[in-house]
Structure 1
Amino acid sequence: MKIGIDKIGFYTPHLYLDMNKLAVSRDIDPGKFTIGIGQEKMAVPPVTQDPVTLAANAAYEILDEADKEQIDFVIFGTESGIDSSKSAAVYVHELLGINPNARAIEVKQACYGATAAIQMAKGHIALNPESKVLVLGSDIARYGLNTSGEATQGAGAVALVICADPGIMALEDKSAYMTADVMDFWRPVYSDKAFVNGKLSNEQYIAFFADVWEQFKQKSGLDLKDFEAITFHLPYTKMGKKALKPVLEDAPEDVQERLKANYQISTGYNRNVGNIYTGSLYLSLLSLLEQKEDLKPGTRIGLFSYGSGAVGEFFTGILQSNYRDYLKTENHNKMFASRKEVTVPEYEAIFEETLPTNGSTVKLDTDADPAVICLAGISENMRQYVNKLK
């Protein structure tokens, strides 16, 4: 039985900041952002968007009524959860009107969370072939104004329907993974901003990829020549390139050129959104699928997932015969085209507009946010969400 990705949805806020202008305002050479780390635009979430609404909007565009009835498991991967007890998945389950006879949980391991959710979903489908699982990877990356990590912020979500006989990609059984206790990135419960040791994080990312790739080759008998493309978790778009480069050195020239070219295509959406943590790898995959028009069914795609702290995994999928029929390329093109640029002062003001933490009531202006699903406010310490079409 084939199990894998049947549908993929994506959402990012309607506001963005030009990285050239951020660099100038910070008295930094713009090339450090646009060339050095490979970022062009950064999504800026208004206060009416949080990880729940981002995920719900991403899933809204792909779910039909049959999906909502068949989904019996919602797994939400995030590292910017809004509650220490109640899962973000429960909110999305309600906002989208999914079958009540379903499980709904939240999983956490930095940027690896959505990959853990997919592996869990595969096991569930193997036992329940008629079921579907909704996997969500949704985050808002916050490091703070004028910090070393500011240029690698972002916001967005990817939603995936996992089921038997998938339309887009069948996930293969072999995978390689590892865990090590590394303090390269963390966010204590008392902080709404992350802490990062950038140099260590880069080193660990590269080391983890090298390790799981060697593991995978031994387990599977496959090599670089067997892949049309390898997609990566991208905290910034140059990161995957750094990990891939040493692995390519012994490959034939045609294989090197193919993988490098397809890697570049896979970074397209990420360059214009920024870091979305748990959804980042799957945004890379989506960019490849939607932007490479001659990507043939039956080809094998590699996926490298890395979550600081740290857990890494390499796994693979085979593109299905009519996978393009399941993509929402036009929707995503329209979403990118309709975004509004904000100035640096506007971005700073939006960044500083946070929700109260003292139990006070607040009502937010959802009319200014074009998204279907928004955060409408807080009352009695409870977030109030609205689906404008329900």
Structure 2
Amino acid sequence: MKIGIDKMAFASTDQYIDLTELAEKRGVDPNKYTIGIGQDRQAVVPPTQDIVTLGARAAQKLLTPEIARQLSTVIVATESGIDNSKASAIYIKHLLGLDDYVRTVELKEACYSGTAAVQFARGLVTLNPQESVLMIAADIARYGLNTPGEVTQGAGAVAMLISANPHVLAIEPTSVAYSRDVMDFWRPLYATEALVDGKYSTNVYIDFFKNTLARYQQRTGRRLADFAGIAFHLPFTKMGKKALEAVLQGRNDEVANRLRAQLTASQTYSRQVGNLYTGSLYLSLMSLLQNGQVTPGDRLGLFSYGSGAEGEFYSGIVQPGFANYLSDVAHDLAGRRQVTVAEYEQLFNGQLGMREDDVQFDTQADGAPFVLAGQKDHQRIYQRQ
């Protein structure tokens, strides 16, 4: 029985900042951002949006009444949780109007937990093949204004339906997970911005990719030539290039050049949005499927990484008609509005964050289907528009 990704959809905010303009305001050579980091634009988050509204917006694109009836579980993978106890999945389930007899849970392990959610969902579908699982990877990456990590911020959500007989990607049985206790990136409970050792984190990421890929190859006997492409977790797009080149080691043959070209295709959307944390790998996968040279029957590799740290390498087979089961990411990105650096800074500082006072946001300017209207008596107030 095939089990895997049946449908995929992406949602981000309706605003972005141009990183060339940001570089000029910060007194930095724009090439450092656009070439050195590999980012062109970055999603800007208004106070009326958070992981719940973004996750619900992405998931809404997948759902039909029939699909909703088949859902057994909603899993939200995030490191931008809005409550230390209550799962964001419960809020999303309510906004989507799903049946109360649906399991809801939130998973955390930095950027890796989206992959954990996929694997857990596979297990649930194996037990009950007639049911489906809605997995949502939603995050807002924050490092602070005028900080070294500012250029690797971003926001968005990828929603996926995991089911039997999938239409997008049939996940193969072999996967390799690898974890070690390292402090390359973390966010204490009292902080709204992450702490990161950037160079160390990059080295750990590359090391985890090499280790998981090598073990996968040992267990399956497969070579790089067996992959039409590899999708990477992309906190910034240059990270995936560094990992791939660490394995290719200067090769210039047909296989190496094909993997490089497919990597470029997989980076297209991330260059326009920025870091999605848990959703970055799966936006990379959507970008590869929509911008790369991919045909049904191709095998794709997926490398997931979360600081702290955990990585996993697994693979899947592209299914016939896959293109019809992906939301139109390029169309959504083309419809966004550019904001100035001053507007971006104002919106960044206007986020609800960890404030405990009552707040009421003006939602009139936000045309999204779901909004965060504010906070009252320590409870976030969400609305459907």
Give the conservation status (yes or no) of the 8 Å contact 2:180–2:309: yes
* Structure 2: gaps (5+ residues): none
Q: Which residue of 1 aligns with 2:92?
A: 92
Q: Which residue of 2 aligns with 1:101?
A: 101
Identify if the C-alpha distance between structure 1 residues 132 and 30 changes in structure 2 by more than 3 Å, giving closer, same or farther.
same
Shift of 1:45: 0.6
Identify if the C-alpha distance between structure 1 residues 357 and 219 changes in structure 2 by more than 3 Å, giving closer, same or farther.
closer
Give the conservation status (yes or no) of the 8 Å contact 1:68–1:97: no
Query: What amino acid does structure 1 have at the position aligned with 2:257?
Result: E
Shift of 1:361: 2.2
Aligned partners of 1:217 and 1:357: how far apart in 2? Answer: 45
Query: What amino acid does structure 1 have at the position aligned with 2:186?
Result: W
Matched, 1:379 2:365: no
Aligned partners of 2:174 and 2:209: how far apart in 1? Answer: 16
Q: Which residue of 1 aligns with 2:340?
A: 343
Q: Which residue of 1 aligns with 2:196?
A: 196
Q: Which residue of 2 aligns with 1:124?
A: 124
Matched, 1:141 2:111: no
Shift of 1:324: 1.4
Shift of 1:335: 1.4
Q: Which residue of 1 aligns with 2:365?
A: 368
Shift of 1:358: 5.3
Aligned partners of 1:385 and 1:78: how far apart in 2? Answer: 18
- CA deviation map 1:134-193 (0-9, x unaligned): 011000000001111000000001000000000111000001111000100000000000
* Structure 1: gaps (5+ residues): none
Q: Which residue of 1 aligns with 2:284?
A: 284
Secondary structure (helix, strand or coil) at the match of 2:364 reads: helix
Shift of 1:304: 0.2
Query: What amino acid does structure 1 have at the position aligned with 2:286?
Result: L
Q: Percent same amino acid at aligned positions?
A: 50
Q: How does 1:171-210 map to 2 (within 5 A)?
A: 171-210=171-210
Query: What amino acid does structure 1 have at the position aligned with 2:327?
Result: K
Give the conservation status (yes or no) of the 8 Å contact 2:266–2:284: yes
Shift of 1:380: 1.0
- CA deviation map 1:90-136 (0-9, x unaligned): 01111111222111000000000110000000000000101100011
- CA deviation map 1:287-311 (0-9, x unaligned): 111123x421000000000000000
- CA deviation map 1:6-37 (0-9, x unaligned): 00010010110100011011110000000001
Q: How does 1:113-262 map to 2 (within 5 A)?
A: 113-249=113-249, 253-262=253-262
Secondary structure (helix, strand or coil) at the match of 1:160 reads: strand
Shift of 1:257: 0.8
Give the conservation status (yes or no) of the 8 Å contact 1:201–1:308: yes
Q: Which residue of 1 aligns with 2:55?
A: 55
Give the conservation status (yes or no) of the 8 Å contact 1:5–1:162: yes
Query: What amino acid does structure 2 have at the position aligned with 1:275?
Result: N
Identify if the C-alpha distance between structure 1 residues 302 and 358 changes in structure 2 by more than 3 Å, giving closer, same or farther.
closer
Query: What amino acid does structure 2 have at the position aligned with 1:246?
Result: A
Identify if the C-alpha distance between structure 1 residues 328 and 355 changes in structure 2 by more than 3 Å, giving closer, same or farther.
closer
Secondary structure (helix, strand or coil) at the match of 1:10 reads: strand
Q: Which residue of 2 aligns with 1:295?
A: 294
Q: Which residue of 2 aligns with 1:354?
A: 351
Cα RMSD over matched residues?
A: 1.2
Give the conservation status (yes or no) of the 8 Å contact 2:192–2:354: no
Q: Which residue of 1 aligns with 2:319?
A: 320
Shift of 1:359: 3.8
Aligned partners of 1:362 and 1:377: how far apart in 2? Answer: 5
Identify if the C-alpha distance between structure 1 residues 356 and 159 changes in structure 2 by more than 3 Å, giving closer, same or farther.
closer
Give the conservation status (yes or no) of the 8 Å contact 1:13–1:44: yes
TM-score, length basis structure 1: 0.97
Q: How many residues align?
A: 385
Give the conservation status (yes or no) of the 8 Å contact 2:16–2:338: yes
Q: Which residue of 1 aligns with 2:74?
A: 74
Give the conservation status (yes or no) of the 8 Å contact 1:70–1:99: no
Shift of 1:251: 5.9
